[in-house]
Amino acid sequence: MNIFGRFVEFEHPEYLLYSWVPVFLVMAMCLASSYWLKKLQKSYANPEHLKRSTRTASMAGTVFKTLGWGLTTFALCAALSEPYEKNADMSVPQGSLHVVGAFDVSLSMAAEDYRFVRPTKDGGPPIGAWGSRLGMAKEEFSEQIFKAIPGNKIGLVTYTADGYPQSPLVEDYGTVRYILNDSGWMGILSAPGGGSDYVQGMRVAIHTLRRDFDASKRQVILLFSDGGAPTFEDPEETAKWQKEYTETMEELNALRTACGGNLSVIVVGVGGPEEQMIPVYNGRTGERVDWFPLDKEEKAKTKLDDAGLRELASKVGGTYVWLNTDGKTKLPVNWASVIGGQRTVQGKLPLSSYPLGFAMSVMAALILRGLFRPSDQIATRPLQRGSANA
């Protein structure tokens, strides 16, 4: 139901549907009381005494009182029906998920696609290293995903050519946040090897879930990467990678079977479609000194491999999400819905206070009207001699 531009729903719509019954009864009682009061006054009261001591209700006063109590009754019924507006904030029930974040920490993740998109702490222009792909991935994970899945277990994995488990599944978000913010544990090249191989990241994430496996939990892998599958000149290396890829897919399918299909894989594309160079900063001063590689005149350029990541998501039966870099809109990702599947809970903004406040306001107006009647002025009128019956 659209009310004043807000889409309102009710926990107990039947209260609102049948509100006409108490409204009718209250308004009928108001009209009946006014009718019988007038009749009794005319039948038994001395006209002169009646004129001095009270004020006979007018037609307008009767209508005002009847409509006022009718509106009050309807507003109370509306409050009891518990109206609410669906809130964009969603969360997943505590203890229902096991989530592993696998982060690509290859050199290309140092490119600063988000330098002027990711706001600084003081709101000013960025100084020094800021807005890297890895930094954006970690911020999205710690700020938005943590809030969407409170009370669930989270693990961390980094990978380049090889994967490395940084944290097992834990419920201590403070520790996980500390690891994320530590450049030694979760910085560029904080995993062994070189290059980038998402298969290794996926494999270590699967092992992390298996190490603390619980079939009653929804198993979730979030793989952050700018893409780029490894290429090999040596046929033996290519065959080895193909074997590892096949084995990883088999392990993923085995995990999906073990948890009854209650598994989600979300591939998160980080970076933009435009080529970016990789900045190199002075570790002591924080100033950019050059672009990578330092010893070559021609600098390396990198961009998001959107097609490759979409293909990966399709092959693993997962979902693809891109952290856009246009800076025009907030990251349009409802993580609770993406991660939680059917276990998400829609947030609700209660609105019962509005009809309740309206009812109280009308009641106050009706009571004040009765208190501030002009009876004091009427009582000062002198009683005419001979007008009263002894």
Residue 333 covered by a domain? yes
Two structure tokens written together for 375: 């009876």
pLDDT of 16 reads 84
Structural domain of residue 281, as residue ranges? 90-346
Both 258 and 189 in one domain: the answer is yes
CA gap 330, 45 in Å, rounded: 74
Residue 30 covered by a domain? yes
Both 207 and 298 in one domain: the answer is yes
Q: Lowest-confidence range among 132-136, 176-180, 281-285, 323-327? A: 323-327
Report whether pLDDT(329) > 80.
no
Residue 388 covered by a domain? no
Q: Which residue has the higher pLDDT, 204 or 228?
A: 204
Task: Compute how many other C-beta atoms are within 10 angstroms of the C-beta atom of residue 158.
Answer: 28
CA gap 136, 113 in Å, rounded: 9
Report whether pLDDT(378) > 50.
no
CA gap 94, 340 in Å, rounded: 11
pLDDT tens for 10-53 read 888 888 888 889 989 988 998 888 787 777 666 655 656 655 55
pTM (predicted TM-score): 0.65
In one-letter notation, the amino acid at residue 95 is G
Name the band, by pLDDT with cuts 50, 70 and 90, for residue 386. very low
In one-letter notation, the amino acid at residue 219 is Q
Both 325 and 356 in one domain: the answer is no
Name the band, by pLDDT with cuts 50, 70 and 90, for residue 233. confident
Residue 235 covered by a domain? yes
Quick one: three-class SS letters along the chain? CEECCEEEEECCHHHHHCCHHHHHHHHHHHHHHHHHHHHHHHHHCCHHHHHHHCCCCCHHHHHHHHHHHHHHHHHHHHHHCCEEEEEEEEECCCCCEEEEEEEECCHHHHCCCCCCCCCCCCCCCCCCCCCCHHHHHHHHHHHHHHHHCCCCEEEEEEECCCEEEEEEEECCHHHHHHHHHCHHHHCCCCCCCCCCCHHHHHHHHHHHHHHCCCCCCEEEEEEEECCCCCCCCCHHHHHHHHHHHHHHHHHHHHHHHHCCCCEEEEEEEECCCCCEECEEECCCCCCEEEECCCCCCCCCEECCCHHHHHHHHHHCCCEEEEECCCCCCCCCCCHHHHHHHHHCEEEEEECCHHHHHHHHHHHHHHHHHHHCCCHHHHHCCCCCCCCCCC
Cα separation values, 46 from 38, 51, 56, 326, 373, Å: 13, 8, 13, 84, 21
pLDDT of 313 reads 94
CA gap 137, 123 in Å, rounded: 20
Mean pLDDT of the chain: 82
Evaluate whether 26 touches 69 at the Cβ level (below 8 Å).
Answer: yes
Phi-psi region of 234 (alpha: psi -120 to 50; beta: other; left: phi over 0): beta
Evaluate whether 209 touches 255 at the Cβ level (below 8 Å).
Answer: yes
Both 268 and 172 in one domain: the answer is yes
Both 222 and 247 in one domain: the answer is yes
Residue 389 covered by a domain? no
pLDDT tens for 99-126 read 999 999 999 999 999 998 887 888 788 8
Q: Lowest-confidence range among 4-13, 140-149, 313-322, 347-356? A: 4-13
Two structure tokens written together for 46: 């001395």
Q: Which residue has the higher pLDDT, 332 or 112?
A: 112
CA quadruple 195, 204, 275, 127: dihedral sign: negative
Task: Compute how many other C-beta atoms are within 10 angstroms of the C-beta atom of residue 224.
Answer: 27
Both 142 and 109 in one domain: the answer is yes
Q: Which residue has the higher pLDDT, 289 or 41?
A: 289
Q: Residue 357: how many CA atoms within 13 Å on its side-chain side?
A: 4
CA gap 181, 193 in Å, rounded: 22
Both 29 and 118 in one domain: the answer is no
Both 137 and 73 in one domain: the answer is no
Both 165 and 180 in one domain: the answer is yes
Residue 390 covered by a domain? no
Both 154 and 258 in one domain: the answer is yes
Name the band, by pLDDT with cuts 50, 70 and 90, for residue 85. confident
Name the band, by pLDDT with cuts 50, 70 and 90, for residue 8. confident
pLDDT tens for 189-206 read 888 877 789 999 999 999
Q: Is 149 exposed, middle or buried (0-12, 13-18, 19+ CB in 10 A)?
A: buried
DSSP β-ladder status, 218-225 and 301-302:
unpaired
pLDDT of 333 reads 56
Phi-psi region of 46 (alpha: psi -120 to 50; beta: other; left: phi over 0): beta
In one-letter notation, the amino acid at residue 66 is T
Which CATH number characterizes residue 121's domain? 3.40.50.410
Both 329 and 363 in one domain: the answer is no
- Tell me how many domains the chain contains: 2
